[in-house]
Amino acid sequence: MKINKTKLHLAIYMVAIIFLGFSIFRIFSLPSEKNTSSTAPLFSSMINDPEGKPQSLKQFQHKTIVLNFWATWCEPCREEMPELSNFYAENKSKNLVVVGIAIDEEKAVKSYLKNTKVTYPIFVDEDKGVFLSKNLGNSEGILPYTVIINSDGNVQKTILGRVNKDQLDAILKPLLQPSKSL
């Protein structure tokens, strides 16, 4: 009987080690996967504004984009909105736009925005929002989720969780440098 218990324990440890190895591999392989995400589905999407009017996201092509996926029920999402609004106000003259995509119900977003001042464009679509978020590297479905896209349409950085102004300044400073005239 002891031999069977020993073999069982050994088998359990082996499975645990294999699982741990796979998990570590997966964690370290995520950044390269995120950097190869395509923005084509983003720029070909039509998403409703909070009033229910379809809008083309192609209007933001050739701009540096801070794309923020959020929801009204997400406390960290609500906490970062004033900083995102201020950041947008300070940098919109530099060919930058902050875009919020609510993965939420249109009615909830419309109600939330009546009491919360947001200076950047907001769009609402649960299904398309989830699809775009996953396509841009959010395989875990975590909110808030922010994607920094340069003016050439390439993903530069993804951030799971709450962002702040200092983070955005550090990431975006090199992307917002004015081009030098010859």
Domain ranges for the chain, please list them.
1-36, 40-176
- Give the C-alpha separation, 154 to 119, whole Å: 24
Contact 155, 39 (CB under 8 A): yes
Question: Binning pLDDT at 50, 70 and 90, where does residue 4 land?
Answer: confident
Q: Is the pLDDT of residue 32 over 50?
A: no
Q: Is the pLDDT of residue 153 over 70?
A: yes
- The predicted-structure confidence for 41-73, as pLDDT tens digits, reads as follows 899 999 999 999 999 999 999 999 999 999 999
Any idea which fold 40-176 has?
A: Glutaredoxin (3.40.30)
pTM of the shown model: 0.77
- Among 151, 155, 122, smallest CA distance to 136 is for 155
